[in-house]
Amino acid sequence: MTSSAGRLACAKLALMVEIRGEGTMTVGTPSISMRSYLSTQHLWMAHHCAQYAQYYEDRYRGQRPAFHIHLRGYIIATVTESVAFVEALINELFSDVFDNHNDERLKVFDAASHQRMTQHWRDSGFGKTTSILEKYEFALSLNAQAGFDKGAEPYQSMSLLISLRNWQVHYYPSNVSDADPHSLQAKLKSRFEPNSLMTGSGNAWFPDKALGAGCSAWAVSTAEAFANNFVERFSYEPNYRSIQHPTDPPPLSGE
């Protein structure tokens, strides 16, 4: 007689056997339950697009100033993916704790911390009522850790990076010039080198001279520095620090 556990195992594997003609058997594909960590993929894409941005800018440097849609796309993608990485990381941590996920890495959080984080995640609508940076602040306070210094790094740069991402994602057009600049111009101008492909143009610094390879490099390094600062407070080793992926971008089309 087949036990209930045996029937359950068969159900999970979803083994479907069909006889087709004499001596032919087809076995269905087993169904596997997996847990993915998209933060790692967001970070990889951010690095990938930042590399492409630098590669593209180096290739066309020295020509007459011009807007390059390819380069702009790489910058927008890097900024968006860098912030997506930071948000996914904290959502993954709270979700793993809430789901009581069987992961050795979570043992750095004691039982009381688990209980506080679980309760907060439920009360906050699974993070839907708090901002990205607030989630990190809650994670620290729920584990009796000091909060970020909001007047220092890495918090200041991360907050600014989120503002830049929000400008892109929730975009409204406006007239800008160096005489009447966008509010982000003064905040970003000292953070990175400008887009060299716009050198000599009369365009406002933000966005056309701001959004270059320097911005991309700053975006991904800012996100990673913020995440590292957070996880190292717990000696917690999330997925993005242990999974290695290829880093070299392939040649641009036509090379």
Confidence category of residue 18, pLDDT binned at 50, 70, 90: very low
Distance of alpha carbon 242 from alpha carbon 235, whole angstroms: 13
The verdict on residue 246 lying in a domain is: no
What pLDDT is recorded for position 7?
Answer: 41
Which single residue is written with the structure tokens 């009447």?
Answer: 180
The verdict on residue 102 lying in a domain is: yes
The verdict on residue 22 lying in a domain is: no
pTM of the model: 0.85
The verdict on residue 18 lying in a domain is: no
pLDDT 10s digits, 224-254? 999 999 999 998 999 999 887 777 766 665 5
Distance of alpha carbon 166 from alpha carbon 159, whole angstroms: 11
Is 50 exceeded by the pLDDT of residue 102? Answer: yes
Distance of CA 184 to the CA centre of its chain: 22
Confidence category of residue 25, pLDDT binned at 50, 70, 90: low
pLDDT 10s digits, 180-196? 999 999 999 999 999 99
pLDDT 10s digits, 45-92? 999 999 999 999 999 998 999 999 999 999 999 999 999 999 999 999
How many domains is the chain partitioned into structurally? 1
Closest CA to 82 of 145, 149, 166: 166
The verdict on residue 178 lying in a domain is: yes
The verdict on residue 250 lying in a domain is: no
Which single residue is written with the structure tokens 């957070």?
Answer: 230
Distance of alpha carbon 68 from alpha carbon 52, whole angstroms: 13
Is 80 exceeded by the pLDDT of residue 147? Answer: yes
What pLDDT is recorded for position 158?
Answer: 98
Task: Give the domain range for residue 138.
Answer: 38-241
Distance of alpha carbon 213 from alpha carbon 49, whole angstroms: 9
The verdict on residue 171 lying in a domain is: yes
